[in-house]
Structure formats: C-alpha cells, structure tokens
Amino acid sequence: MFSTIDRSIVYEVGTDITENDINIVSDLWTMEDRQVYRGARDPNYTHANVYWLYDPDSLDRVGLSEHKLDDPSDVALLWYKENPFNTLLQEDGWVEGESFWSKVPSHVYEQCLAEGWTTPAAVAERCLRGSTRVVTVDTLIAKPKVYSCAKCKTKSFTKSACSTESTLDFPEKEKVWFIDERMVVYTPPAGSSVWSITQPQSPSDPSSQPEVQTVPVQPVESVDESPHSSPPETHPQ
Ligand SMILES: [Zn+2]
C-alpha cells in the first residue's frame, strides 16, 4: 500500500501481528464503520505516525492508520482489499479476470511452457523483446532497470558487460497487462491512478518509444574498441 503522505513509502501487506504489537492491549475502535483493534505506533516508520489495525475476531492485521506528524488528527486509513492492485493503490474497482495463459495464443503459451517462462518475472523479461508489458504490483512499486544492448540485440533485467541501463518503459494502455503472482490478469477501473505510473510523460504521443530515447550513451571507460564489430542496426522490436 502506497503511503498517502510519502509515495516512496510502501507498506507491506501481511496479516500477522507485528512484533511491535504483541502484548499490546487495545480498545475497540470504530474506523470507517469497521471495528478494529489498534496496535502501538510502529517505530519502523518516521514519515508519519503509523498504527496497524486488527480484526477483533481473527486478530488478523487488516490495515493501518497513518497520521501526519505535524497534525495527528489528519488521518488516512488504508485497508487490505480484495486484490493486490486495489490494495496497493487503495482503489476499488480492479477486476480479476482470466489467467494470462488463457488470453495468449496457444503457440505463445506452449513456447513459454517449453522455455520455463512461467513466472511473472520470466514472462516480463521475455516481453522486453516486444512492446507488450506484464506488470505486477512489484513493478509499480519500483520500476525495474532494464539492461539493453542494441548490437547484441538483448534486453534483460540482468546486467551484462556491454549493456546500457534504462528504466522499464511502458507502451500504450492496450499493451499493458496487470497480473498477480498467479498470472491472473486484472483490469483497472476507469480513471485509475495506475496510469500516472505506467504511462510516458507525454500521453498524447502513444507511438513514442521511450526506451530508444532514454538509453544513455555508453560511458567511455577505456579507449578500446567496442566489443562489437557489427554495423549499426535498427532497434530490436
Ligand atoms: Zn552487447
């Protein structure tokens, strides 16, 4: 769950009682019509005063209250929701759909299976060769670095000697697939804030290919010849 105060802070989602809250005695609180126990201030966070909230019956952690440091009465309540995207963005309306595998052509499915590309990370890496992107909540939390080499025609999440580093680019909305760890595809609600994360700065130009423009010139580390001798070629797509 993204903090509402500092977007660089992402709260982990776990249902167990935090170490900090074991043996804490809490009153029963009503917050947004939900009854909860509230833990002690979580000392792991200093950007806000953060208190985890617990279901009174199961004692599962169900959310948190986030209080501004300079105005403790300014509170945001964040709840675990029914799917990871609803929870991360604190949005309702993300719809769980079919499996990714049932939506791709059968030859793609068979190739992925044969190559062992069965996890979100492996499929995301394979997608780097084209313009489709599979996006998990982890992708949204921290856009991964992409290492590319135009001459070797490689693009990977793993660094190699001749690669240049860039940040993962995103294509137009239609080519972005939001998936969970089980490869289930989710559809965002209209007006979702996710597009502020996954769209290029100039959404008016969906044909732009940011990865071409943002790959920096290879820093000169020596005056040696490049390890490549092949002539320039078009960018692999
Ligand atoms: Zn190379």
User: What is the whole-number distance in angstroms between the Cα of residue 228 and the centre of ligand 1?
Assistant: 7
236 or 49, greater pLDDT: 49
Q: How far is CA 81 from each of CA 2, 62, 96, rounded to the nearest angstrom?
A: 13, 9, 13
Strands 95-99 and 164-167: unpaired
Q: Percent of the chain having pLDDT more than 90? A: 75
- Average pLDDT of the chain? 87
Q: How far is CA 5 from each of CA 46, 63, 100, 127, rounded to the nearest angstrom?
A: 11, 16, 34, 33
Q: Percent of the chain having pLDDT more than 70? A: 84
The pLDDT of residue 198 is: 85
The pLDDT of residue 89 is: 97
User: What is the whole-number distance in angstroms between the Cα of residue 149 and the centre of ligand 1?
Assistant: 5
- Name which of 41-45, 53-57, 185-189, 196-200 the model is least confident about: 196-200
Instruction: Give the mean model confidence (pLDDT) for residues 86-107.
Output: 96
231 or 110, greater pLDDT: 110
pTM reported for the whole predicted model? 0.79
User: What is the whole-number distance in angstroms between the Cα of residue 161 and the centre of ligand 1?
Assistant: 7
User: What is the whole-number distance in angstroms between the Cα of residue 160 and the centre of ligand 1?
Assistant: 8
